[in-house]
A and B are shown apart, each in its own frame.
Chain A
Amino acid sequence: QVQLQESGPGLMKPSETLSLTCTLSGDSMRNYYWSWIRQPPGKGLEWIGYAHYSGISNYNPSLKSRLTLLVDRSKNQLSLNLRSVTAADTAIYYCARGGTYDSSGYSLDSWGPGTLVTVSS
């Protein structure tokens, strides 16, 4: 059974770079679309983007200029780097496995518990 666990700084200041890691266990990184989603406290879900085992990625245009998503196959980890954060980036950040068409119709079939990131001066 796949398990995902996010880790990150918790609290950060405006203009800093947010770095998050998601560690995968119980599954291979092959074939799946390793995704990030965020949720401001009390609000809805926003898709951030994905990085694939093959090296391809796709980012939400609203974040693309500040965002880098990577997969580290040797460590079974995903990473997110978001530059120049502001208070608007305050959210719970989730990593999730995006399935193939056959496994789950490209849906997000396994999620980490999420990590809260607060941006405040």
Chain B
Amino acid sequence: DIQLTQSPSFLSASVGDRVTITCRASQGLGNYLAWYQQKPGKAPKLLIYLASTLQSGVPSRFSGSGSGTEFTLTISSLQPEDFAIYYCQQVNTYPRTFGQGTKVEIK
């Protein structure tokens, strides 16, 4: 199975901060990577697919980049509603796998 390692696992940030989360894959994925946001008690929500394509309805402060084995999710200016856990998922091979998650908390 392809392993995805997110860093950091936890970050503390303030409203307005620029935040970057990294996802590293154990083998090349091309651009077959997605990012999800999960808030407490809720299902995950798709933010980014194919590494850099913004899902419809997702604010433009979210962006994704990368290819191969290294990917990043960036929030350009953190808003109060962005405090959540973020997961990457590879959709290149089966079984699909997720990163362990990055929890973004208020500083």
| Closest Cβ neighbor of B50 among chain A residues | A105
A109 CB contacts on chain B under 8 angstroms: 46, 49, 55
25 pairs, CB–CB < 8 Å, chain A vs chain B: A45-B89, A45-B101, A47-B89, A47-B95, A47-B96, A47-B97, A49-B95, A59-B95, A62-B95, A94-B43, A105-B31, A105-B50, A105-B91, A106-B49, A107-B34, A107-B46, A107-B49, A108-B44, A108-B46, A108-B89, A109-B46, A109-B55, A111-B43, A111-B44, A111-B45
Range of interface residues on chain A?
20 to 34
B-side interface mostly:
loop
Residues in B with CB closer than 8 Å to A62 are 95
Q: Name B residues whose Cβ lies closer than 8 Å to a Cβ of A.
A: 31-32, 34, 36, 42-46, 49-50, 53, 55, 87, 89, 91, 94-101
A26 within 8 A of B: no
Known A-B contacts A105-B49, A107-B89, A108-B89; the reply to A113 vs B32 at CB < 8 A is no
Measured CA separation A7–B36 after assembly (Å): 23
Interface string of A87-100 (1 = CB under 8 A from B): 00000001010010
CA separation between A45 and B95, bound complex, in Å? 13
Question: Does chain B have a CB within 8 A of A28?
Answer: no
Q: Is the CB of B98 within 8 A of A106?
A: no
A60 to B94, CA, bound (A): 8
Which residue of A44, A49, A61, A114 contacts B43 across the interface (Cβ within 8 Å)? A114
Contact in complex: A106, B46 (CB < 8 Å): no
A40 at interface (Cβ–Cβ under 8 A)? no
Q: Are B55 and A46 in contact (CB under 8 A)?
A: no
